[in-house]
Structure 1
Amino acid sequence: MSRPSETVPEHVEIAVVGGGPVGALTALRLARAGRRVALIEARDPEAKLTDARAIALSWASLVAFADAGVQIPYAALTAIDTVHVSQQGSWGRTVLSRDDLDLPQLGAVVDYPALAEACQAALAAAGVAVLWRTRVTRVATLAAFARLTLSRDGAATPLTCRLAVLADGGELAEQLPGVTRRVHDYHQSALLAELRTERPHGGVAYERFSARGPLALLPHGEAFKLVWTRSPTEAEALRDEPSEQLIEQLDEALAGRFGKVLAVSGRAVFPLTLKQVNRTVSGRVALIGNAAQTMHPVAAQGLNLGVRDALGLVEAVAASADPGEAGVLRRYAGLRRLDSQAVVGFTHGLVSLFDGNGALMSLLRGAGMNLLDLLPPARRRFAGHLVFGVGTAR
Structure 2
Amino acid sequence: MIARPLPCHVDIAIVGGGPVGALVAQRLARQGKQALAIETRQSVEDGPTDPRALALSWASYQALLDAGLWRDGLAPTAIQRVHVSQQGSLGRTELNANELNLPALGYVVSYDKLARLALEQLTLGPAQLALGTTVTGVRSLSRFAELQLATHTGPTSMTARLVILADGGKLISQINGVQQTVKPYNQHAILATLTPTVPHAGVAYERFADDGPLALLPYGDDFMLVWTQTPEQAEARLALSDEDFMAEVAQRFSARLAGFSAVGPRRSWPLALKTLDSVVAPRMVMIGNAAQTLHPVAGQGLNLGLRDAAVLADVIATTPARELGEAAMLQRYAALRRKDAGVVTAFTDNLISFFDRPNPVFKHARSLGMLAMDQIGPLRRGFARRMVYGVK
TM bucket normalised to smaller: over 0.9
Q: Distance in 2 between matches of 1:27 and 1:48?
A: 18
Aligned to 1:346: 347
Aligned to 1:217: 216
* Letter matched to residue 353 of structure 2: S
What is the CA-CA distance between 1:260 and the residue it aligns to? 2.0
Aligned to 1:272: 271
TM-score scaled by length of structure 2: 0.96
Instruction: Give the alignment of 1:1-394 within 5 angstroms.
Output: 2-5=1-4, 7-45=5-43, 46-73=45-72, 76-153=75-152, 155-320=154-319, 321=321, 322-391=323-392
What is the CA-CA distance between 1:229 and the residue it aligns to? 0.2
What is the CA-CA distance between 1:90 and the residue it aligns to? 0.9
Range 110-119 or range 337-346, more displaced: 110-119
Q: Distance in 2 between matches of 1:245 and 1:325?
A: 58
Q: Distance in 2 between matches of 1:154 and 1:358?
A: 61
Q: Indicate if the aligned counterparts of 1:317 and 1:329 stay in contact, CA closer than 8 A.
A: no
Q: Indicate if the aligned counterparts of 2:61 and 2:70 stay in contact, CA closer than 8 A.
A: no
Q: Indicate if the aligned counterparts of 1:85 and 1:208 stay in contact, CA closer than 8 A.
A: yes
Structure 1 unaligned regions, length at least 5: none
Q: 1:43 to 1:74 in 2, by over 3 A?
A: closer
What is the CA-CA distance between 1:120 and the residue it aligns to? 2.0
What is the CA-CA distance between 1:285 and the residue it aligns to? 0.1
* Letter matched to residue 344 of structure 1: T
What is the CA-CA distance between 1:131 and the residue it aligns to? 1.3
RMSD between aligned residues: 1.3
Q: 1:202 to 1:74 in 2, by over 3 A?
A: farther
* Letter matched to residue 358 of structure 1: N
SS at match of 1:70: coil
Q: 1:94 to 1:239 in 2, by over 3 A?
A: same
Q: Indicate if the aligned counterparts of 2:138 and 2:174 stay in contact, CA closer than 8 A.
A: yes
What is the CA-CA distance between 1:241 and the residue it aligns to? 3.3
**CA deviation string 1:106-153 (max 9, x = no partner):** 000000011112212321331322111211111111121011111123
Q: Indicate if the aligned counterparts of 2:136 and 2:171 stay in contact, CA closer than 8 A.
A: yes
Q: Indicate if the aligned counterparts of 1:72 and 1:115 stay in contact, CA closer than 8 A.
A: no
Q: Distance in 1 between matches of 2:99 and 2:173?
A: 42
* Poorly superposed stretches of 4+, deviation over 4 Å: none
Q: Distance in 1 between matches of 2:100 and 2:366?
A: 24
Q: 1:154 to 1:233 in 2, by over 3 A?
A: farther
Q: 1:231 to 1:80 in 2, by over 3 A?
A: same
Q: Indicate if the aligned counterparts of 1:92 and 1:365 stay in contact, CA closer than 8 A.
A: yes
SS at match of 2:46: coil
Q: Indicate if the aligned counterparts of 2:2 and 2:131 stay in contact, CA closer than 8 A.
A: no
What is the CA-CA distance between 1:344 and the residue it aligns to? 0.2
Range 135-144 or range 292-301, more displaced: 135-144
What is the CA-CA distance between 1:336 and the residue it aligns to? 0.2
SS at match of 1:329: helix
Q: Indicate if the aligned counterparts of 1:191 and 1:226 stay in contact, CA closer than 8 A.
A: yes
SS at match of 1:390: coil
**CA deviation string 1:46-95 (max 9, x = no partner):** 32532100000000000000000113326610000111100111121111
Q: Indicate if the aligned counterparts of 2:74 and 2:113 stay in contact, CA closer than 8 A.
A: no
Q: Distance in 2 between matches of 1:362 and 1:307?
A: 34
Q: Distance in 1 between matches of 2:238 and 2:312?
A: 39
* Letter matched to residue 93 of structure 2: T
Q: 1:337 to 1:289 in 2, by over 3 A?
A: same
Q: Distance in 1 between matches of 2:177 and 2:61?
A: 34
What is the CA-CA distance between 1:4 and the residue it aligns to? 4.8
What is the CA-CA distance between 1:154 and the residue it aligns to? 7.5
Q: Indicate if the aligned counterparts of 1:14 and 1:163 stay in contact, CA closer than 8 A.
A: yes
What is the CA-CA distance between 1:248 and the residue it aligns to? 2.0
Q: Distance in 2 between matches of 1:163 and 1:144?
A: 9
* Letter matched to residue 23 of structure 1: G
TM-score scaled by length of structure 1: 0.96
* Letter matched to residue 268 of structure 1: R
SS at match of 2:313: helix
What is the CA-CA distance between 1:211 and the residue it aligns to? 1.6
| Count of aligned positions | 389
What is the CA-CA distance between 1:231 and the residue it aligns to? 0.9
SS at match of 1:28: helix
